[in-house]
């Protein structure tokens, strides 16, 4: 372990040339002779030269920090998405700084400001539950900060984004329930101001309409995405005269809550009630019965978001129409929704 810091000057001194020649040689500049270039590279390797990114970034007026703002890191979807981002950003020479909002708009705004202050090259974000408008995001992009939204985005904001095709996923899931013979299918939704939940609702509606099944407002339950709220709602439903015969939930967690509550009440799943969740959380294959759900390809989404952002960063002038990528979720059919199948 050489403890001496070796810089281009050290190398230059050793070879009796100047630092600029070393710099050019290392970056493969054609004006430097083949011979010198090879010599420099060899010597650099021998001396254990490691370029100082800070110096180079300073000179180039450019950094290597990419910010990530998400509701929580410890959610299956988000931690996988981050893994996907790292897979793209690290090899490209960028570091990730991760800010958690814990679903608070205030922390989201804070985080964005911190990233701006830290001279981040760009930001990948998924908005918090609380966030109702994109003023802070708009301000950031207006100020020249490249931003890519993923999963939870804000409509009407002209910004690159990567999302799940929640509409198609919900449509397919609902259609699956219908094909299994369920008719009175209710929907557990999240806050409808979030695109994700709005699209899932729309997909559900379309499938129902196509099958000539009415969707009345009492079949749609808002803000039911936690396990607790799923349990409570299921409890409420139990007191009513007529139970739905299936649930398409926007969340695996509320689906879980309902599943457990119904099961404890002696209701048969999937015979009496079919249940489909959303997100393919790891626990869904362990419930009894296993929960049908939709896989979201979180790592792919993370990778794509990172790629989009790096493109933006590396050619800012290019003011095209923002890209919009969409991944179709895959329906994972398990027991909780299979009434027809003999098993």
Partner DNA sequence: TAAAATTGCGCAATCGATTGTACAGGTTTT
Partner DNA sequence: AAAACCTGTACAATCGATTGCGCAATTTTA
Q: Which residues bind DNA (CB under 7 A)?
A: 5, 7-9, 16-21, 23-24, 26-27, 30-36, 49-52, 55-56, 58-61
Any idea what DSSP says for residue 235?
A: H
* Closer CB to DNA, 20 or 236, in the complex: 20
Return the H-helix or E-strand segment holding 39.
helix 34-47
Mask for 254-293, x = binds a second copy (CB under 8 A): --x-------------------------xx--xxx-----
Cα gap 340→292, rounded to integer Å: 14
- Between residues 31 and 242, which has the closer beta carbon with respect to DNA? 31
Stretch touching a second copy by CB under 8 A, among 94-102, 150-158, 169-177, 320-328: 94-102
20 near a second copy (CB under 8 A): no
Shortest Cβ 93–DNA spacing (Å): 11
Report, in Å, the least distance between residue 188 CB and DNA: 51
Residue length of the chain:
343
Residue closer to a second copy by CB (options 189, 293) is: 293
> Residue 59 CB, nearest distance to DNA (Å)?
3
Write down the least CB distance from residue 291 to a second copy, Å.
Answer: 10
Contact flag: residue 106 with a second copy (CB under 8 A): no
* Dihedral, 270, 327, 204, 210 alpha carbons, nearest 10: -110
Rg (CA), the chain: 26
C-alpha 56: how far from chain center = 31
- Supply angle C-alpha 192, 235, 225, rounded to 5: 25
Q: Is 99 in the site for a second copy (CB under 8 A)?
A: yes
Confirm if 340 and 274 have CB atoms less than 8 A apart.
no
36 touches, from a second copy, DNA, none (C-beta below 5 to 8 Å by class): DNA
Looking only at Cα atoms, what is the longest distance across the chain?
92
Q: How far apart are CA 197 and CA 187, in angstroms?
A: 11
Find the shortest distance in angstroms from Cβ 93 to a second copy: 9
CB 67 within 8 A of CB 89: no
Q: Which residues on neighbouring strands pair with residue 307, listed in sequence order?
A: none
Q: In sequence order, which residues have a C-beta less than 8 Å from that of residue 252 and are 6 or more positions away? A: 277, 278, 279, 280, 281, 283, 284, 291, 293
Cβ-based nearer residue to DNA, 4 or 216: 4
- Residue from 20, 38, 46, 55 in contact with a second copy (CB under 8 A): 55
3-state secondary structure of 294: strand
- Minimum CB separation of residue 25 from a second copy in Å reads 19
Q: Does 74 bind a second copy (CB under 8 A)?
A: yes
What's the CA dihedral at 246, 198, 278, 255 to 10 degrees? -50
Which residues lie near a second copy (CB under 8 A)?
Answer: 1, 3, 50, 52-55, 57-58, 63, 65, 72-74, 76, 79-80, 82-83, 86, 90, 95-100, 114, 116-119, 139, 142-144, 256, 282-283, 286-288
């Amino acid at each position: 372990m050489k403890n001496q810091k070796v810089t281009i000057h050290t190398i230059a001194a050793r070879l009796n040339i100047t630092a600029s020649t070393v710099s050019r040689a290392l970056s493969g500049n054609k004006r430097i002779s083949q011979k010198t270039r090879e010599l420099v590279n060899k010597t650099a390797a021998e001396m254990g030269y490691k370029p100082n990114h800070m110096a180079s970034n300073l000179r180039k007026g450019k950094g290597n920090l990419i910010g990530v703002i998400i509701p929580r890191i410890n959610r299956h979807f988000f931690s996988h998405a981050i893994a996907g981002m790292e897979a793209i950003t690290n090899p490209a020479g960028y570091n990730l700084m991760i800010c958690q909002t814990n679903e608070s708009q205030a922390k989201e705004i804070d985080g964005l400001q911190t990233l701006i202050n830290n001279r981040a090259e760009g930001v990948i974000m998924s908005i918090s539950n609380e966030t109702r408008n994109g003023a802070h995001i708009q301000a950031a992009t207006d100020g020249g900060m490249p931003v890519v939204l993923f999963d939870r985005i804000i409509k009407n904001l002209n910004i690159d984004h990567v999302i799940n095709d929640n509409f198609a996923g919900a449509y397919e899931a609902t259609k699956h329930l219908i094909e299994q013979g369920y008719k009175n299918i209710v929907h557990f939704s999240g806050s409808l101001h979030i695109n994700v939940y709005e699209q899932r609702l729309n997909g559900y509606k379309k499938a129902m309409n196509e099958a000539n099944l009415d969707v009345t407002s009492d079949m749609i339950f808002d803000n039911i995405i936690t396990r607790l709220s799923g349990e409570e709602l299921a409890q409420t439903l139990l007191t009513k005269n007529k139970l739905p015969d299936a649930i398409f939930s926007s969340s695996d967690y509320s689906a879980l809550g309902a599943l457990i509550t119904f099961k404890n009440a002696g209701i048969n799943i999937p015979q009496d009630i079919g249940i489909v969740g959303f997100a393919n959380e790891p626990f869904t294959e362990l419930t009894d019965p296993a929960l049908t759900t939709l896989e979201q390809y979180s790592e792919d989404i993370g990778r794509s978001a990172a790629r989009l952002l790096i493109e933006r960063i590396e050619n800012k002038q290019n003011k095209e129409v923002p890209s919009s990528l969409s991944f179709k979720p895959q329906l994972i059919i398990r027991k909780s929704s299979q009434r027809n199948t003999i098993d």
